Structure 1
């Protein structure tokens, strides 16, 4: 007599993801304060700088990034207050957020998920998005942070549902498909939706939320221009294979997003070179 078939697990919903967010690691309180201060005019910067300085690991990582060639400072900054003086509050806030987020999620919870490859891809996308934003005269800090966080929903799914995500990784390997499709087939939800849930939970700005939500579909109404920048940066980085991830598929590029950027071949060649150069240094700052 054959054993009864095990019923397939029910597809996950957005609410399932939201319910699990409370169990995820949270960003340091001062980083949440920084994120909440994005649209505030009366922020006491010196108080926030002092609070960040109390977290030595976060400060060290932030200063390593501030002193990288990404910002081309002529002097070496040694305090958060100095970083704010030379780079400005908005840039420093984004560096602190980058330093905090890259150290936030525990590794090794899901077999087959390469945590370092995930962050290498995210860092490369951030570097590429920053260069693209400069070309487009768009806010480079927003582009860098959105590039870094565009796939953060994958970490949400890995941390909250490790066994299910392991099955999604196996599905992707078997079917040679994009991770987005594997997530939808196995989990019933994808990393874009999970990323939107976390962005809401962590009080990200509307600009950041739209970029995370639209980076695979920049043509959808209201996606915003930043989503187009992240979409193109993501594809460029996959093509350059900087993360050396097992998923070597290059996602198709939306013609609408590509044309919206309107850059010529010479600019793209320069973009490739700058991304490769900056990627190494940012990776050293954030992952070492």
Structure 2
């Protein structure tokens, strides 16, 4: 396929995608609260607690094997105390995105996307705890949002389900099929959506380059997501299981993850995946 420039690519996206979803309201409010240097924790507790669905998701995750609290966490205030303000903020933003899943007619596709996104988020967090602990929570939020572009395309482009089905049946690279058919791919769309939401640059950048981590300004984060993404695909979790061994090994090398570490991370990830089935439902 002939390479197209970025302005043509953007035009193709905007011609194909009629409506980008707005940032979920609770996430928007939380971001605004935290922008105020004089905010109080009670402001955050009040804001999140009004969203019962989101509160349930945060408490479910906080009590899961992912965080393994010593005693049950039953309120948002307890979650903030145990997990920290930044982690809860990230959970609010990323878990708010779950409202976008299961809201259309492609429920099976959306279920598979959510399952894959959450598994990548957990896998990236586990990998970061091993090699770059300070990036663990950022990895979780980016992992949940990394395939936002696929969700938008599924809702907005009528031919997308066929593209996904062909890629799945033939075990082909979905990104390549998207580019061949549409002239852009889901990383372009996801990055643009997060930009429209006003998300921080490191989120939009890593979502844009998680398949090409060496092109990212935030290579550590991008390689962690690339590693977790390919690990998850190798376990056949998601809508496209084209596992890129070369990229997987390249990210392992960059991060200093040896095969024994990768095996250990895979075991830990699949243990959580097996135990926390409720987390993976939309």
Q: TM-score with structure 2 length normalisation?
A: 0.86
Q: Measure how far apart 1:97 and its partner are.
A: 2.4
Taking a change above 3 Å as real, the CA distance of residues 186 and 92 of structure 1, as seen in their structure-2 partners, is same
Q: Measure how far apart 1:61 and its partner are.
A: 1.4
CA distance in 1, matches of 2:274, 2:23: 25
Q: Measure how far apart 1:144 and its partner are.
A: 0.9
> Which residue in the other structure is 1:197 paired with?
192
Taking a change above 3 Å as real, the CA distance of residues 61 and 281 of structure 1, as seen in their structure-2 partners, is farther
Aligned residues: 273
Taking a change above 3 Å as real, the CA distance of residues 213 and 16 of structure 1, as seen in their structure-2 partners, is same
Instruction: Give the match's secondary structure for 2:215.
Output: coil
CA distance in 1, matches of 2:274, 2:9: 37
Residues 1:260 and 2:258 are matched in the alignment: no
CA distance in 1, matches of 2:151, 2:271: 26
Residues 1:277 and 2:271 are matched in the alignment: yes
Taking a change above 3 Å as real, the CA distance of residues 13 and 264 of structure 1, as seen in their structure-2 partners, is closer
Larger of the two Rg values belongs to structure: 1
Structure 1 unaligned runs (5+)?
A: 1-11
Q: Measure how far apart 1:230 and its partner are.
A: 0.4
Q: TM-score with structure 1 length normalisation?
A: 0.84
Q: Measure how far apart 1:275 and its partner are.
A: 0.6
- Structure 1 stretch 41-50 or stretch 260-269: which is displaced more? 41-50
Q: More helix by proportion, 1 or 2?
A: 2
Cα shift readout 1:204-233 (whole Å, capped 9, x = no counterpart): 212211211111001226252100110111
What root-mean-square deviation, in Å, do the aligned CA atoms of Structure 1 and Structure 2 show? 2.6
Structure 2 unaligned runs (5+)?
A: 1-7
- 2:18–2:156 contact (8 Å) kept in structure 1: no
> Which residue in the other structure is 1:249 paired with?
242
Q: Measure how far apart 1:28 and its partner are.
A: 3.5
Taking a change above 3 Å as real, the CA distance of residues 147 and 167 of structure 1, as seen in their structure-2 partners, is same
> Which residue in the other structure is 2:4 paired with?
none
Matches within 5 A, 1:157-176: 157-161=153-157, 163-172=158-167, 176=171
Which of 21, 25, 30 lines up with 1:29 in the alignment?
A: 25
